[in-house]
Structure 1
Amino acid sequence: MLQISGAPSSSLSTTQIRGIIAAIAAITAVGLSLSASLPLLALTLEYRGVGDTWIGINTAFAGVASIVATPVGPYLARKLGTPQALLISLLIAGVTLPFFFVLENFWAWFPLRLLFHGATTSAFIISEFWINALAPSKHRGFLMGVYATVLALGFTSGPLVLAVAGTTGALPFLLAGAGIIIAALPVLIGFKAAPRIENEATSKLYTFLWIAPAATMAGFTFGAVEQSAISLLPLFGLKVGLTPQAATLLVSAMAAGNMVLQIPLGMLSDRMNRRHLLIYCGAFGLLASLLMIPLSSSFYGICLLLFLWGGVVAGLYTIGLTHLGARFEGANLASANAAFVLMYSIGQLVGPASTGFALSTWGATGLPLLFAGFLGAYVIICLIRGTRLGSAP
C-alpha cells in the first residue's frame, strides 16, 4: 500500500511560505511566457508558408512531448534535488525557445518541440509537487486555489507580450525565453525551502491511475474540456449566430470564471470530502454543458453560464491536485503529480480532435454534447470507484 498522509504541519512556517511563494512565482512566469509562445509559434509557421495541416501536426507534437517527458520531472527531482531539477527545466525551456526563430527548417521544429515542451512539462510537475509537499493539510486547498488563480492570470497576461513586442522578428522570442529564465530567480530565493525526495516511489507512475482515479481522471477530463473550449468555443458561437467579436468573448467568460472561483473552491475542499467535491464539480459541469444548448440564444445568458461552468470545471484541476497532496507524500506525491499531468496532456490531445469531429457531425450542439459526455463519464467512473472504496477520502 502507498503511504497516505497529509502535510507535516497544520500551520505555515516562514520557510514553507517562502518556498510556496517561490514555486508559484516561478511557474507563473513560465505560464506567462508559454501563453505568449504558443500563438507566436503558430503565427511564425504561417508567416513562413507552412500549411494549416502541418501547423496542426507540429502543434500537437507538443502534447506528445509532454507525455514523453512526464516521468523525467520526478526522476530529476529525486536524483538532483527539487530546486536543481526545476532550474535545469527552466534553463532548457528558456534557451530552446529563441531557436524556433533561428532555425527556419520546419523539420527542426519537431525536436525543438520535444525539448521545449518537455522541459516546461517537467517544470510544471516539479513546481506542483513543490507546492503540494509544503502546503499544510489545513490550508492545502486554499493554497492550490491561489496557485491556480495566479497561474491563470499569468496565462491571461501572456498575449500582452505579443501586443507589445509584435509577432515578427526575434524580439518576442527573446522576451518569452527571458521570461522563463527569469523564473529561476524565485527558485534561487526559495532554494533551501524546497522539499526533498529521499526514496523512490513505491509504485510505478501508471498505477496511480488506479490508486487515485478521482484525481488523475480529473486531470484528463479537464485537459480535454479546457483545450476544446479554448480552441472551439468561438466556432460554437459563430454557429449559434454570434458575431466574431462576441464569439471570442465566450472564451473570456470561461477564463474569468476560472480565475475567480479557484480560491473559493480550494477553501471548500479544505472543509469537505475532496472526492465528493470532485464528483459535484463534474456533475455541475455536465448539467451546465447541456444548458449551453437552450441558453445559446442569449449572449448574456451563455456568458454567465460559461463563467460558472469554466470556474467549476477548472476546479477539477485545483481539487484534483489537492486530493493527491492529501493522500501521498515524498516520491509517491511526485509520481502522482506526474500521473496527473500525464492524464492532463492526453486529455489535451484527445479533446480538441473529438470535439472538432462532433462540431462537424452534429453542428453547434456537438460541442456541449461532447463536453457533457466527457464530464458524465468522469462522474460515472468516480461513482463506481467510490462504491468500491466506501468512504475513503
Structure 2
Amino acid sequence: MNSTQSSAPTYTRLLMYLAATLFISISMGMNAIIFPVTMESFKFSEVTMGLVLASETSALLLICFSLQWIFKKIGLCLAVAIALLLRTGSLYFISSAEHEHQWLGFVFVHGIGAYLAVLLLQILITSMRFKKNTTIVNAMYGMMISLGYSIGPFLVGLSTSIPSDSILSKLSEIFVVQRLDVAFSVFFSIVSGFIMLAVGGKTPGQEDGKSRGLFNIIKDSPGVYCAIAYCGVVIFGITAFITIYGIRNHMEVYAASMLLVAFITGCIVLEPVYAWISAHFDLRHFLFTNIFVSLIFSAFLPLVIYDFYQSVVLLFLWGGANASCYSVAMSILLTRFEERDMVAANAAFSLMDSLGGTVGIILIGVAMSSLGSEGLAYIMMLASVLYFSYGLTRYKII
C-alpha cells in the first residue's frame, strides 16, 4: 500500500473500508465483554475496572494529538502495520494477565492499536467525497461499528460452547493464546488489518497546504464537538459498564451481555433511519433534540432495569438516538471544513469523543463504587445536564 490514490473504484474501496471497520469492531465488541467480565472474575474493584477501561480510551487522546505527525513522518501503510502489531500483541499478553498493573498497561497498548486503526478508517471514509447521501455514508460507517459490537458478544458466548476437539478450538493454538474467545478477537483484528493494507488509500489534504490545529478546529464548532463529547460519555460508558450494571442488578452474565447487544443493535437498525430523517431537518436542531431524547432514556434506565425486556427495548431505542448523533455531527463538520483540514477535523472529532469517554468511564467507575450500580445512570444524566447548560445559554446552539 502506498500514499497515492488507489486505482480501485471509489465504491469498491468504500465497501472494503466498511468491511475492515466491521471486522475490527467485532474484535473490539468481543473485548467489551472479555475485559470487564474477566476483571470481575479477578475481583477487581469498580474503580480499578474504570481506570483500566479508561486507559484504553485515553490512548485515543494520544493518537489524536499525534495523528498529523503520524501521517507526515510514518505514513499510512506503516501506521496500519504498527496498529495491527500493537493490538494483536497486547491481546496475546492480556489472555494470561492476572494483575491490575498488567491489565492497565496491556489494555492501554491495545487501545493505541485499536483506535488508531478505527481513526484511520474514519478518515479514509469521510475523505471520500460523494455528491449526495453524505449523511447516509457516515451512517454506514457507524453501522459497521455498531454491527461489529453487536456480533462480538455473541461470539464470546459461542466460544464457550465450542467442543475442545473442534477445528475452531484450534484457533487458540494457532495464535498461541490461552483463551479461545481472545483467539477469535485476534483473528478478526488481523483480518481487518490485512484488508486495510491490501486496499490502500490516500491521506486527505496533505498536498493542499498546512491545516489548522485541533483546538482551532474545535473552537470553530464548539456545539458540535461538545455534543460528540457527550456521546462519548454514553457510548463508552454503556460499552464498558452495562454488562456489569446488569450483573449488579441480578442478571445472569449472558442476559447482562444482551443489554449491550440491544444498545448496539439499536445503533445498527435505527441510525440509518435517523440519518434519513435528519436530511429533512436542520441538522443542528436535530442533534440537539437527539441528546434530549438520550437524557430521557438515561433517567428511565434505573426504573426498567429490573425487567429484562423493558431494559432491552429502552437500550435499543437509546442506541439509535446516540449513534445518529455521530453521523449527524460528522455531516455538519464535512460542510464546514476544507479537505486540507479533514485530518485535523477527524482527529478533533475522536479527541472529544475519547475525552468524553475517558472522563465518563472514570466517573462511572467511581460513582458505581460509592453510590451503587445506579451511579451509571447518574453520570449519564449529569453529562446531559452539562451539555444543555452549555447549549441553552446560547441563542445559536451550534
Are 2:86 and 1:77 equivalent residues in the alignment? no
CA shift, 1:342, in A, is: 1.7
CA shift, 1:218, in A, is: 2.3
Corresponding residue to 1:187 among 179, 192, 196: 196
d(CA) in 2 for partners of 1:238, 1:187:
37
Q: What is the one-letter code of the residue matched to 1:115? A: V
d(CA) in 2 for partners of 1:201, 1:290:
45
8 A Cα contact 1:69 1:119, kept in partner: no
Corresponding residue to 1:118 among 100, 112, 137: 112
d(CA) in 2 for partners of 1:366, 1:114:
24
State the SS of the aligned residue for 1:387: coil
Question: 1:329 and 1:227, CA in 2 relative to 1: closer, same or farther beyond 3 A?
Answer: same
Question: Cα deviation per residue 1:44-103 (whole Å; 9 max; x = unaligned)?
Answer: 6677x6844655543332233222222233332344544553344234333443243477
Percent identity between the aligned chains?
A: 23
Normalising to structure 2: TM-score of the pair? 0.78
- Give 1:94's aligned residue: 88
- Give 1:210's aligned residue: 219
Corresponding residue to 1:306 among 315, 325, 345: 315
d(CA) in 2 for partners of 1:357, 1:317:
27
- Give 1:129's aligned residue: 123
- Give 2:286's aligned residue: 277
Are 2:251 and 1:257 equivalent residues in the alignment? no
Are 2:178 and 1:178 equivalent residues in the alignment? no
Q: 279-288 or 321-330: which moved more?
A: 321-330
State the SS of the aligned residue for 2:211: coil
Question: 1:109 and 1:292, CA in 2 relative to 1: closer, same or farther beyond 3 A?
Answer: closer
- Give 1:228's aligned residue: 237
d(CA) in 2 for partners of 1:171, 1:147:
28
CA shift, 1:128, in A, is: 0.7
d(CA) in 2 for partners of 1:270, 1:182:
34
d(CA) in 1 for partners of 2:194, 2:311:
42
d(CA) in 2 for partners of 1:38, 1:241:
20
Q: What is the one-letter code of the residue matched to 1:120? A: A
Corresponding residue to 2:18 among 24, 30, 39: 24
Corresponding residue to 1:338 among 307, 332, 347: 347
Q: What is the one-letter code of the residue matched to 1:223? A: G
Q: What is the one-letter code of the residue matched to 2:212? A: S
Q: What is the one-letter code of the residue matched to 2:140? A: V
8 A Cα contact 1:358 1:366, kept in partner: yes
- Give 2:298's aligned residue: 289
d(CA) in 1 for partners of 2:96, 2:252:
38
State the SS of the aligned residue for 1:183: helix
Q: 303-312 or 168-177: which moved more?
A: 168-177
Are 2:154 and 1:154 equivalent residues in the alignment? no
d(CA) in 2 for partners of 1:247, 1:170:
21
State the SS of the aligned residue for 1:134: coil
RMSD (Å), alpha carbons: 3.7
Q: How many residues align?
A: 376
CA shift, 1:134, in A, is: 0.3
d(CA) in 1 for partners of 2:368, 2:90:
36
Normalising to structure 1: TM-score of the pair? 0.79
CA shift, 1:293, in A, is: 5.8
CA shift, 1:250, in A, is: 3.8
State the SS of the aligned residue for 1:264: helix
CA shift, 1:29, in A, is: 1.4
Q: What is the one-letter code of the residue matched to 1:19? A: R
d(CA) in 1 for partners of 2:96, 2:241:
31
Corresponding residue to 1:37 among 31, 37, 60: 31
Question: 1:352 and 1:41, CA in 2 relative to 1: closer, same or farther beyond 3 A?
Answer: closer
Question: 1:325 and 1:351, CA in 2 relative to 1: closer, same or farther beyond 3 A?
Answer: same
CA shift, 1:255, in A, is: 2.5
d(CA) in 1 for partners of 2:196, 2:256:
39
- Give 1:142's aligned residue: 136
8 A Cα contact 1:19 1:134, kept in partner: no
- Give 1:349's aligned residue: 358
d(CA) in 2 for partners of 1:301, 1:103:
37
Q: What is the one-letter code of the residue matched to 2:352? A: M
d(CA) in 1 for partners of 2:199, 2:69:
21
State the SS of the aligned residue for 2:9: helix
Structure 1, unaligned runs of 5 or more: 1-12
